[in-house]
Structures are given as C-alpha cells and as structure tokens.
C-alpha cells in the first residue's frame, strides 16, 4: 500500500502524540501513588470501623514498605490489627520518638446527610471528605510522609534515635484492642519510647479574648479521666399505678440526681492548670490575663466563677464534670410502678489521683444508701506529662511552619490513646498539626467530616520539622 509522505508524517505525528500521552499517564499514575492527598483519599475509602481495621492496616503497611520503612506487626487477631513502621529495625532497641495514630473510625450513621458518601474519599474544591478525615486518618498520612521525607533527606547515620509510627486499632472503643496492647511490657520494651506524639488539640482561632484573629495551637499534655457510673435504685413499692406511694424507685433516684446537681462546683487550680493559665494569661495580657495567671489568689476568688464560665476551655481545666446521660426503667405499662430506676453518669475528672476517691466519697455521703453505685468503665489513671524538652520540640516545630502562632498546653476534655502511655509514666503530647475551623471541628464524629488539602501539607511540614529536631545535637 502506498502512503504519501504527508500521510506518513501524520501517522508518525499521531504515534508520537500517543506515546507522549501514555508517558504522561504513566508519570501521573506513578506520581499519584506518592501524593499524600491521593493516598489519604484511598485510605478514607477503607471502611475501618472499630473492630474492622485489618484492611486499613494492610494498606498502610504495604505503603510504608514501598517507602522503604521497616514494619513489624504487633498484634493480629480477629478484632485487632496493630503494627508499626520505623526507620531502624526494632531489634536495634534504639530509644525512639514514637508517633501514634488510630486506624479505626466511628460509623457514619447518617450517611444520607453527607454531601458526598462517607467512604468515597471525595476530593472537591481542595478539600477531602470522608469519615476519619480529621479523626484521625490524616495524621497517619502526615506521619508517614514526614518519615519518608526524613529517610530521603537525612543520612541514616545522622539519625541516632529510632522514629516509629504505631498504627493501632480500637481507639474509638476505648483502646483495649489497640494502645492497651502496645503498652504490654514485651511490646513497650521493643518500641523503647522516649516520647509519644498523637492526637489531641489543634490550631484554632477565636479562642483568646481580644486576639480573635490570632492562631493558637493547643498541644494536649493531659487528659480528663473518664469515669462512667451507674446509680441503681431498687424499692419494693406497691405495683399498681392507682395507689399513690411516696416511696418509689423513681422518686428515690430523682432525689439523688437533684442532690448531685445541687452540689457546689469545686474549682481546682493544680500544677497542670497553672501552666496553661500562665500561658493563656501571658497571651491575653491586661487585667484578665493577670487574673488568669493568679487564679488561685484569694483576692480573685469572687471573680473566679465568672471568668471560668466565660470560656469552655477554662472550665474544663479547673473543674470536674458530671453529665447525666441516661435514666432508665425496665419496660412496662404506664399503670405499673417501676421497682428499679437507673441513672448513668459520664464523669470527666481532673487528672489528679485524688479526684476519683473524693468523688466516690461525696456520692456515698449525699446519695441515699439504698441506691447502689457502681463503676461501669474508667480510663487509666494518667498523670499530666511535664512540659519538658519534647513539648518544646513540638512547640518549635509548629512555630517553624506557623511563625505567628501561639502554642499553649491543653488539658484535653476527652480520653485518647495518649492516656495509656501516660499511665505507664511516658511523656505523651497530642496535637493535630494544622489549622481547624469551626465547621471542621463540628464534622468530627458527625457528617461531612473534612480536611482541606493545605492542612495535609502543613501537617507533614510540622512533623518533618519535629523529626528533624531529633537528628540534631540539641536533643541527641
Ligand atoms: Zn481519634
């Protein structure tokens, strides 16, 4: 077949064009596989609801191995999958900077109210949507890429410590299948942690009076202790609703509830609270700042309550909370007097050893002895971490990426895996290393959980700075 020279030229040009397109395609595929946003999007697609983490674990383990990191499975059973990735093999037993993240997420019960399906990993308008986008799949990706950056830019001989990322299951269900396993003596001696960095506070604006536009990073060094109580009243009273009785289980329980509600709030300015109040007071300045720094002075006693109640974070810092979460009777008809009544309290206590016994003593004093008080569940006893060199390293790393920000220690109102490490005396600090706005915070455990793409690169930058600091002489 004869082809004119112009046709031959056209065919050649077309072939070259297709070759070029194919090359671009291969290039973008191989690069996408190294793009944290693409990887996080894929990770968000894995439905790793507590108890079903293994698929997510295998995905991340494979990724870490692709990046040349050492990996070790710490536990693998039907309901748990825990592993770690490190720069050095664990058998070297080097003291380690340990980063922790949990692979499990809470369910997305109201999936229909989501803008995009909760397990679609949709990227829209430079924002990633999906269950776990903030809590806390993004932090895992930030930690992995920071470790990858260090591996690629610093020669191993200049890394005198091990850098380990621990990926755990079951944080959302209390950490028994995850962090609790990793603090077993045989595993903790393998990890050999100097410090733990995990979830906790984050970068927020609109938190300091008079400095609404300034960015404040809260790094948690302590957590409230959770204590779940059950109060059960049992009274043998007349069974028919038509016979009035002053003494019923419901009335007895209601009286107890009323007494608990009427108990005067205790304000405890302990050493940990003082540190935070000092940082906040310095930042705030003026009379209010001065009062905050000296909140335990008797002269300021009359102002205390007003100041504390003006700010939720302040209230958390110096008071216990007792939340009545449910009241129950066994099922029955309206004309049946219930013989038992039960109330449940979610108490969040300041992290001092004395708070739990003090609360129990108070309850036994004010509640009718016919009411049985029992503890259903509680978080481990964990003292606050001191604001030591590791806190300072995290603070400096945040400031390198956000030079105008303020960094303040935080008493986290809920319990996370960090408490397990604090309970065995290890320093643990929690921060999401990026800026969070109101709608991001509101999306955690709710619908439309999301993270902007910029937050991912910011977080990687903070964690890279953090790890870099541990390769210098200052912290060696
Ligand atoms: Zn979490």
What is the CA(199)–ligand 1 centre distance, in A?
6
pTM metric for this prediction: 0.86
Alpha carbon distance, N-terminus to C-terminus of the chain: 75
Task: Delimit the domains of the chain by residue range.
Answer: 36-221+382-469, 225-265+322-381, 267-319
Split at pLDDT 50, 70, 90, the class of 107 is very high
Q: What is the distance, to the nearest Å, from the Cα of residue 197 to the centroid of all Cα atoms in its chain?
A: 11
C-beta separation of 382 from 422 below 8 A: yes
Distance from the CA of 105 to the center of ligand 1, in angstroms? 8
Write out pLDDT tens, residues 338-374: 999 999 999 999 998 899 999 999 999 999 999 999 9
Give the distance (Å) from ligand 1 centre to CA of residue 471.
28
How far, in Å, is the centroid of ligand 1 from the Cα of 334? 42
pLDDT tens, residue by residue, 188-206: 999 999 999 999 999 999 8
- The residue ranking higher by pLDDT, 139 or 475, is 139
* Residue 298 CA, ligand 1 centroid: distance in Å: 39
Residue 457 CA to ligand 1 center (angstroms) comes to 20
Q: Name the strand (E) or helix (H) holding 323.
A: strand 321-328
Distance (Å) from CA 73 to ligand 1 centroid: 21
Distance 237 CA to ligand 1 centre (A): 46
Q: State the pLDDT at residue 476.
A: 41
- Between the CA of 444 and the centroid of ligand 1 the distance, in Å, is 9
Residue of 406, 440, 409, 438 lying closest to 208 (CA atoms): 406
Tell me if residue 300 falls in helix, strand or coil. Answer: helix
Q: Which residues surround ligand 1, an ion (CB under 5 A)?
A: 135-136, 199
Q: What does the alpha-carbon distance between residue 89 and residue 415 come to, in Å, rounded to a whole number?
A: 31
Residue-level pLDDT at 93: 92
Average confidence score pLDDT of the chain: 90
Separation of CA 414 and ligand 1 centre (Å): 10
359 CA → ligand 1 middle, Å: 28
**Cα 177 to ligand 1 centroid, rounded to whole Å:** 14
Look at residue 265 and tell me whether its pLDDT is greater than 90. Answer: no
Identify the pLDDT of residue 474: 47
Examine the pLDDT at 54 and tell me if it is beyond 90. Answer: yes
CATH topology of domain 36-221+382-469: Aminopeptidase (3.40.630)
Q: Note whether 121 and 41 are within 8 A (CB).
A: yes
pLDDT of residue 99: 98
> What is the whole-number distance in angstroms between the Cα of residue 171 and the centre of ligand 1?
7
Ranges assigned E (strand) in 18-126: 70-76, 81-86, 96-102, 123-124
Split at pLDDT 50, 70, 90, the class of 21 is low
Q: How far is the CA of 280 from the centre of ligand 1 (A)?
A: 25
Q: Which CATH number applies to 225-265+322-381?
A: 3.30.70.360
Contact (CB, 8 A) for 159 and 93: no
Which is higher by pLDDT, 235 or 237? Answer: 235
Nearest to 462 by CA among 262, 219, 119, 168: 219
Q: DSSP labels for 192-212?
A: -EEEEEEEEEEEESS-STT-T
**Ligand 1 centroid to 140 CA: how many Å?**
11
What is residue 92's DSSP assignment?
G
Distance 200 CA to ligand 1 centre (A): 8
């Amino acid at each position: 077949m004869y082809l004119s020279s112009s046709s031959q030229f056209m065919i050649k040009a077309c072939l070259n064009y297709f070759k070029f397109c194919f090359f671009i395609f291969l290039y973008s595929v191989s690069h996408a596989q190294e793009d944290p946003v693409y990887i996080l999007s894929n990770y968000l697609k894995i439905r790793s609801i507590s108890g079903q983490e293994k698929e997510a674990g295998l995905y991340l383990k494979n990724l870490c191995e692709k990046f040349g990191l050492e990996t070790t499975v710490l536990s693998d059973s039907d309901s748990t999958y825990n592993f770690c990735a490190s720069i050095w093999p664990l058998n070297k037993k080097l003291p380690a900077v340990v980063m922790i993240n949990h692979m499990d997420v809470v369910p997305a019960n109201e999936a229909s109210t989501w803008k995009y399906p909760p397990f679609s990993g949709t990227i829209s308008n430079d924002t990633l949507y999906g269950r776990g986008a903030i809590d806390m799949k993004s932090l895992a990706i930030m930690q992995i890429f920071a470790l990858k950056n260090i591996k690629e830019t610093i020669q191993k001989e200049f890394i005198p410590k091990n850098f380990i990322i621990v990926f755990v299951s079951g944080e959302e269900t209390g950490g028994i299948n995850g962090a609790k396993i990793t603090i077993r003596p045989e595993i903790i001696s393998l990890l050999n942690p100097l410090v733990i960095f995990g979830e906790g506070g984050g970068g927020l604006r609109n938190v300091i009076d008079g400095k609404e536009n300034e960015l404040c990073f809260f790094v948690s060094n302590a957590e409230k202790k959770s204590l779940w109580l059950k109060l059960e009243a049992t009274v043998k009273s007349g069974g028919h609703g038509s016979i009035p009785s002053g003494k019923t289980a419901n009335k007895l329980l209601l009286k107890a509830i009323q007494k608990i509600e009427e108990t005067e709030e205790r304000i405890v300015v302990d050493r940990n609270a003082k540190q935070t109040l000092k940082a906040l007071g310095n930042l705030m300045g003026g009379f209010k700042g001065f009062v905050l720094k000296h909140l335990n002075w008797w002269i300021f006693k009359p102002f205390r309550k007003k100041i504390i109640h003006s700010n939720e974070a302040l209230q958390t810092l110096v008071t216990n909370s007792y939340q009545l979460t449910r009241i129950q009777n066994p099922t029955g008809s309206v004309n049946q007097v219930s013989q038992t009544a039960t109330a449940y309290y979610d108490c969040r206590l300041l992290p001092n050893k004395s708070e739990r016994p003090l609360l129990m003593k108070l309850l036994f004093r004010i509640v009718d002895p016919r009411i049985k008080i029992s503890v259903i569940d509680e978080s481990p006893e964990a003292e606050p971490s001191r604001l030591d060199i590791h806190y300072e390293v995290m603070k400096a790393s945040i400031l390198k990426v956000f030079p105008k920000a303020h960094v303040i220690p935080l008493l986290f109102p809920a319990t996370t895996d960090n408490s397990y490490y604090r309970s065995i005396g290890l320093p643990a600090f929690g921060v999401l290393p990026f800026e969070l706005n109101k709608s991001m915070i509101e999306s955690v455990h709710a619908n439309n959980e999301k993270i902007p793409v910029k937050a991912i690169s910011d977080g990687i930058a903070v964690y890279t700075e953090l790890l870099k600091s541990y390769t210098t002489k200052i912290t060696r």
